[in-house]
Every structure is written in C-alpha cells, then in structure tokens.
Amino acid sequence: MWVNLFVALILDETLARKAVVLEYSREKRLGRSRRRRSSKRRSQGGKPLSAGEKRRLKVFDIKPEHQRYELFLPLHDLWKQYIMSICNGLRPGSSPQLVQQKLLKADFHGAILTVVRSKCPSYVGTTGILVQEFKHIFKIITKEDRLKVIPKNNSVFAVEVNGFVSHIYGSKFEYRASERSAKKFKAVESSFRMSGKPLATPGRVLFGEGQLLKRSRRRCQPKVFFLFSDVLVYGSVVVAGRWYKNQKTISLADIQLEDLEDSTWMENQWLIRTPRKSFYVVAGCPKEKQAWMEHIVACRDRWIQTVAAFTPFTFAATWIPDGASAVCMRCCNEFTAVLRRHHCRNCGFLVCGACSKQHAVLRHIHPIDLQRVCRLCSRRLLQEQQQEEEHLYVDVAAVLGEGEQEEEGKGMTLRNFHGWLNSQTQPHFMWFTLCVGG
C-alpha cells in the first residue's frame, strides 16, 4: 500500500514538471504543411489549363445570346482607331505599300473581313466582324447574327479602312502578328538553300514576289523576283515555289527602268538597267508588267529619299542575243563552231574572238578587273583616258605650277610637266609605301 502511494506521488511530481509526448504526430504536421503549400499555390495561381481542358470547359465558345452583330460594333470602332494610329493616319495621298507594311504586323480582332476567294465557293462573299482568331481559322459575326468559321488556308480576305482596300492571304496569317514578317524572310532565305544569303535586316520589308522571264544571250529563262524596300532579289527556278538558286541582289538605288513597246516576237517586256548588268524582263500580261514597274519605281524613289543616295549615270550595256546576228558585227565574218560568239562588255555587240582581244577597265562594272571589249570600243576608251589625263595635268599645272613659275621666272610646257610630275611624286609614293609596309 505504501509502495503504491509512493509511486503515485513520484508520477504526479514528474508530470507536473515535464511534458509527456502521448502520440507521435510528425506525419500529421507534414500533412498540414503540404496543405498550406497547396493552398498557397492555389492562391498564387496554379498550373494553366491545357488545350483539352479549355475545350471541355468551353472557354472560347461564344454563347448564342452573345452572337449579335451590334454587340461587336464598338470593338470595330476601337479597331479603326487602332489601325489609324499605327498607320499614322490614312489619307488619300498615303502610300499603299506603307499601309500594306503596317497591316502585315497588325491585329485584326474587330476588323470587318470579306471573303473574296476560297477553296469552298460557299464562303465567298461572307462579310462580318472578326471576333476570334485561331491558328487555322477565323471566327466572324455576320450582319445576320450568325457565327461563321472560315478556314485561313486557301482563302483570301479583303479589309477596308477609310477607302483603302487591302487583300490578305489567310495562309500568311497562320502565324502570330509579330512572327509573320520574320517567317516570310526565313521562307525566302530557305528557298535558296545553302547558296542563299541572309536577307533579314532592320527596316527591310518585302513588298511583292513573282515569277518573270529573263532574256539571256541564248533564250528566255524563268526567274523568281522578290521586291524588298531597298533591294531587288532574283534567282533561277529549280522547283517553282520551293527551290531556287543563283541568288542575285541589286540595290534599288542603282536601278533604272525603261519601258519597251511590244513586238511581234516578244510582248510585255521592259529593260532593267544597272551599272554592272542590264537585262530584259518579260511579264505574263500587260497588267502584271505595269504593276511590277510601278512598284519598283515607287520603292526606288522612296529608298533614294530615305538614304539620300545618288542615281548612277553610267549603266551596263545590254547584250544582243546570240540569235540576232549570224556574223560578227565588226568584221562581218560568219560565226561557226570554230569562230565563236563573244560580247563586248562596253557596247553589247556580238563580235568574234579576233575583234575582241582587247581588255579594259570599266569602272561601272568593276573598279579593277579587266573586261572584254571590241576594237572600236578599245580605241574610244583609250582616247577618253588620254583626254582625262590631259585635263588632269592641266588642272594640276594650274594649281601647283603657276606659283613656282612666277617666282622662278621659268616656263614649263605641258610636255615636260608630265616628267616633272612623275619625278616629284615618285619619291613621296615610295616613302609612303615603305611607311605602310614597315
């Protein structure tokens, strides 16, 4: 009895001074921490919904009571203000090319679109406000309060803003607005494969592309042309629309166009002149020819004003086709399998090898390389060079020689001035060369 009482007193004293753990609750504490973390994640925003969850929840579905044309008219008014601001105000004198450039990067939610071409004839003529845009389709509300789903691929849409009507290809809008221009540049670069050169530069815009015929020395060859805001790029066609080669780039500041009348053997042609090469181009119809020439001239004038460039005065001569003459246009010898045809780079005439043995530097083609020229052009270029040297000697004598002649009282003729100039300038040139080399 006394032992039990003593044990009870010891237990009471121990329990009064110390805390006794009755149950191991670590797992419960971990569970509470997990719940706190999960609730914190929910309050901060959890994982976004997947595409399947969005479809199940019908996030993008417009309720039937909201499919009313008049409800989206305020959205159209906002879109017009937005497009006017990015186009710097649309006026009757605004450039269509600049407007097209801005529309390429614009957002079309709220725009009134009209289907002008489609693979399915039932879509043609449909007009409405664009309310939703997905990767492959447009959703528009018509005036009859109907929601239409129009596929982008194989469809052409027309959008009108203050009298400006622009046609947009739906296949080009399968990318985001910020990616459309970059995707187009990459597509053009990749079409030239490994031989292509980079085309994407800041401020460069693609205005148009198409296939034309380029007259060469033997026959007409199909070429693809890309008109940018500052250059004209063309190349040979391997697979139409997919693969090109021999990429050539011409600055628009160096281009001069010349319209040509139609002939019995060639129609819808014009001449593109450049300092390095000039060639004839043939379009498929008069309307296509006029459109190409107008767009090239407009882009060239705008680029020249932007960079304050000067148009060159000397352009390369156009080569006469091989079939235009059967004899040499200098000595009248008939061309054969042995007596081959050659072209004078200065006049473009068909000449034989004996009449084109001479070579000369044509600065508008290359500042250093020698070019094949005919005998007549060689003599003419030599005379022009001698005249330039004489004018140079006279000008130098007038500037440098007159003061020394008056002081020394000695006359100097043009004949001995050439020797004096060489003797005086040669040591300075050698000294300069040694300084640079050392």
Lowest mean pLDDT among 183-197, 229-243, 390-404: 390-404
Q: Do 188 and 281 share a domain, yes or no?
A: yes
Q: Do 160 and 234 share a domain, yes or no?
A: no
Which residues lie across from 176 on neighbouring strands? none
Mean pLDDT within 223-247: 87
Would 384 be classed as within a structural domain? no
Are 117 and 156 in contact by the 8 Å Cβ rule? The answer is: yes
247 pLDDT higher than 60: yes
Q: What is the mean pLDDT of the chain?
A: 75
Q: How far apart are the C-alpha atoms of 126 and 142, rounded to whole Å?
A: 8
Would 295 be classed as within a structural domain? yes
Q: Do 80 and 166 share a domain, yes or no?
A: yes
254 pLDDT higher than 50: yes
Between 33 and 198, whose confidence is greater?
198
Are 384 and 363 in contact by the 8 Å Cβ rule? The answer is: no
Are 174 and 184 in contact by the 8 Å Cβ rule? The answer is: no
Tell me the chain's radius of gyration from C-alpha atoms. 39
Closest CA to 90 of 158, 159, 142, 138: 159
DSSP string, 94-150: S-HHHHHHHHHT---TT-EEEEEEESSGGGTT-EEEEEEE-SSEEEEEETTS-EEEE
Mean pLDDT within 206-222: 82
Would 346 be classed as within a structural domain? yes
Are 299 and 252 in contact by the 8 Å Cβ rule? The answer is: yes
Given this model, what pLDDT does residue 159 score?
86
Would 32 be classed as within a structural domain? no
Considering the chain, what percentage of its residues have pLDDT values greater than 70? 71
Would 335 be classed as within a structural domain? yes
Given this model, what pLDDT does residue 425 score?
38
Q: Do 135 and 110 share a domain, yes or no?
A: yes
Which of 21-25, 32-36, 205-209, 221-225 ranks highest by mean pLDDT?
A: 221-225
Given this model, what pLDDT does residue 93 score?
64
Q: Do 336 and 274 share a domain, yes or no?
A: no
Between 318 and 63, whose confidence is greater?
63
Rounded to 10 deg, the angle between the 414-437 and 375-396 helix axes is 90
CA count, 13 A, side-chain hemisphere, 143: 6
Would 108 be classed as within a structural domain? yes
Rounded to 10 deg, the angle between the 96-104 and 73-86 helix axes is 120
What CATH number has the domain bearing residue 344? 3.30.40.10
Q: Which of residues 363, 378, 393 is at a domain's end? A: 378
pLDDT confidence band for 16 (50 / 70 / 90):
low
pLDDT confidence band for 275 (50 / 70 / 90):
confident
Would 87 be classed as within a structural domain? yes
Q: Do 89 and 160 share a domain, yes or no?
A: yes
Lowest mean pLDDT among 310-314, 340-344, 373-377, 414-418: 414-418
Give the H/E segment covering residue 275. Answer: none
- The residue segments making up the domain with residue 168 are 64-173
412 pLDDT higher than 50: no
Given this model, what pLDDT does residue 7 score?
60
Given this model, what pLDDT does residue 417 score?
37
Q: Do 245 and 346 share a domain, yes or no?
A: no
Instruction: Tell me the residue type at 11.
Output: L
Between 28 and 435, whose confidence is greater?
28
pLDDT confidence band for 413 (50 / 70 / 90):
very low
Between 25 and 347, whose confidence is greater?
347
Q: Do 155 and 207 share a domain, yes or no?
A: no
Would 315 be classed as within a structural domain? no
Q: Which of residues 307, 335, 368 is at a domain's end? A: 307
Which residues lie across from 227 on neighbouring strands? 208, 232
Number of structural domains found in the chain:
3
What pLDDT digit, counting tens, does each position of 306-347 carry? Answer: 776 666 667 777 777 777 778 888 888 888 888 888 888 888
Given this model, what pLDDT does residue 420 score?
36
Given this model, what pLDDT does residue 433 score?
29
65 pLDDT higher than 80: yes
Given this model, what pLDDT does residue 3 score?
54
Contacts of 119 (CB under 8 A, 6+ apart): 151, 153, 154, 155
Q: Do 282 and 205 share a domain, yes or no?
A: yes
Given this model, what pLDDT does residue 115 score?
92
Q: Do 262 and 353 share a domain, yes or no?
A: no
What pLDDT digit, counting tens, does each position of 152-167 carry? Answer: 888 889 888 777 788 8
What pLDDT digit, counting tens, does each position of 86-130 carry? Answer: 777 666 666 666 676 677 777 888 889 999 988 888 889 899 998
Mean pLDDT within 9-31: 56
437 pLDDT higher than 50: no
Mean pLDDT within 374-398: 76
What CATH number has the domain bearing residue 302? 2.30.29.30
Given this model, what pLDDT does residue 431 score?
31
Lowest mean pLDDT among 36-40, 60-64, 139-143: 36-40
438 pLDDT higher than 50: no
Mean pLDDT within 398-419: 50
212 pLDDT higher than 80: yes
